[in-house]
Amino acid sequence: MVFLSTDVISDEELTALMQAINNRYGLDFTNYERTSLKRGIIRLMMEHKMKTIIELWSVILKDKDFFKNAIDNLLVNLTELFRNPDVWIKLRDNVLRRLGRENLHIWHAGCSTGEEVYTMAFVLEAIGMLHSARLTATDLSTTALNKAVKGEYSLLLLKQYLVPFLKFFPNTGMEYYFDFQDTCATIKPKYRANVTFRKHNLVTDPMIDQFDLIFCRNVMIYFDEVLKYRVLKLLHKCLKPDGYLVIGYYDIMPDVGKEYFDIYDVKTRIYKRKN
Ligand SMILES: C[S@@+](CC[C@H](N)C(=O)[O-])C[C@H]1O[C@@H](n2cnc3c(N)ncnc32)[C@H](O)[C@@H]1O
C-alpha cells in the first residue's frame, strides 16, 4: 500500500473538490473539520491506489456508487454495541428513571450501522420501558442505514463487542438478543419493532419531532464551530423541556453550546436542556 500524508492535498484543492461534490450531489461539507476531511480523502486514495487528488476527483464525480462508498470513508461509520458502557449504566440507573414516563421518544442522530439504537432497545427492555418507547435513528449515509435496518452483524464484530456488553449485562448471553447463524447474528425482531430508521442530514434537514432524549455521539467531531452551533441549536429545539442530550467521549461542547445545555454528568457527557 502507498502511504500518503495529508500534505498531498492543499486547502484550495480540498475546497474545490468539496464544491464540486456539492454541485454534483447536493451535499455540503463546507463546515466540516478540514483535517478530518483530508484524512478521509487520503484513506480513500490509499484504498484505491491513487496518487493524486485529480484521479479521485474524476471517479467521484462520474460514479455515483463509488461516491456512496466514499461518503462512508469520509464520515467514518465506526460504532460499537454498548460503546462506553458507563453511559448506558448512567442512563439505566438515573436518566431514564428520571424521565420515567411512558411513551419515551428517543432520537439517535448519526446512528451509523445501528449498534447504538439497538443497545438502547436492550437497555429499555431491561428496565421494562421498551414496550411503549419509540426510537428514531437517522444518518446521512445510506450504506450505513441499510446495514442498520438489517440488524445483522458478523460474529467477528460481536466478539469485539463482548467486553462492553458483559460490563452492562454480566449475567446474560448474547443469544438472548440475537438469532445466531453460521457467520453472523441478527437482532431479534422485538428489539427492532419500535425503531424507525431514516435518512437525515443534521446540517441541512429539518426535524419537527420532539424527543425526551437525544444521542448525538461522535458526529460533531467532524464539524467546525459554526456547524456545531447550528446542530446544537437544532437539537435544543427538538428536545422537550427537561430533555437530555448525550454526546460522545471525544466530542467537545463548544462555549456557544452552554447557551442551550447544562452539564448533567461530566463523566458520561450527558447534558440537560436549558429552558
Ligand atoms: C463515528 S459514527 C458514530 C455512530 C454512533 N453515534 C456512535 O457513537 O457509536 C458517526 C456517524 O455520523 C454520521 N454523520 C456525519 N455527518 C452527518 C450529518 N451531517 N448528518 C447525519 N449524520 C452524519 C456518519 O455517517 C456516521 O455514521
Q: Whose CA is nearest to atom 10 of ligand 1?
A: 219
Ligand 1 contact, 112 CB (< 6 A):
yes
**For 85-273, CATH number?**
3.40.50.150
Which numbered atom of ligand 1 lies nearest the CA of 204?
A: 19
Ligand 1 contact, 77 CB (< 6 A):
yes
Gap from CA of 20 to ligand 1 centroid (Å): 22
For residue 235, pLDDT over 80 is answered with yes
Q: How many CB atoms lie within 10 A of CB 58?
A: 9
Residue 246 pLDDT class (50, 70, 90 cuts): very high
73, 76, 106, 219: residue to mutate for ligand 1 pocket, most atoms within 8 A of CB: 219
Strands (E) across the chain are located at 105-109, 134-139, 152-154, 178-180, 184-187, 195-199, 211-216, 239-247, 261-265, 270-273
Which numbered atom of ligand 1 lies nearest the CA of 108?
A: 6
Mean pLDDT for the stretch of residues 163-178: 96
Residue 39 pLDDT class (50, 70, 90 cuts): confident
Average pLDDT for the chain: 93
Q: Looking at residue 20, what is its pLDDT?
A: 93
Gap from CA of 112 to ligand 1 centroid (Å): 6
pLDDT (tens digit per residue) in 89-132? 999 999 999 998 789 999 999 999 999 999 999 999 999 999 99
Residue 262 pLDDT class (50, 70, 90 cuts): very high
For the chain, the domains span 6-75, 85-273
Ligand 1 contact, 217 CB (< 6 A):
yes
Please tell me whether the overall predicted TM-score, pTM, comes out greater than 0.85 for this model. yes
Ligand 1 contact, 140 CB (< 6 A):
yes
Residue that is written with C-alpha cell 462520474 in the block: 62
Gap from CA of 171 to ligand 1 centroid (Å): 31
Gap from CA of 71 to ligand 1 centroid (Å): 11
Ligand 1 contact, 268 CB (< 6 A):
no
Q: Which residue pairs, CB below 8 angstroms and at least 24 apart, start in 200-205?
A: 200/109, 200/138, 200/139, 200/140, 201/27, 201/140, 202/109, 202/110, 202/138, 202/140, 202/231, 202/234, 203/28, 203/31, 203/227, 203/230, 203/231, 204/28
Q: Looking at residue 187, what is its pLDDT?
A: 98
- DSSP H or E run through 235: helix 225-238
Between 4 and 164, the more confident residue is 164
Q: Looking at residue 111, what is its pLDDT?
A: 98
Mean pLDDT for the stretch of residues 59-68: 91
Looking at the chain, the whole-number percentage of residues with pLDDT higher than 90 is: 73
Q: Looking at residue 1, what is its pLDDT?
A: 57
Q: Whose CA is nearest to atom 8 of ligand 1?
A: 217
pLDDT (tens digit per residue) in 136-159? 999 999 999 999 999 999 999 999
Q: Looking at residue 3, what is its pLDDT?
A: 67
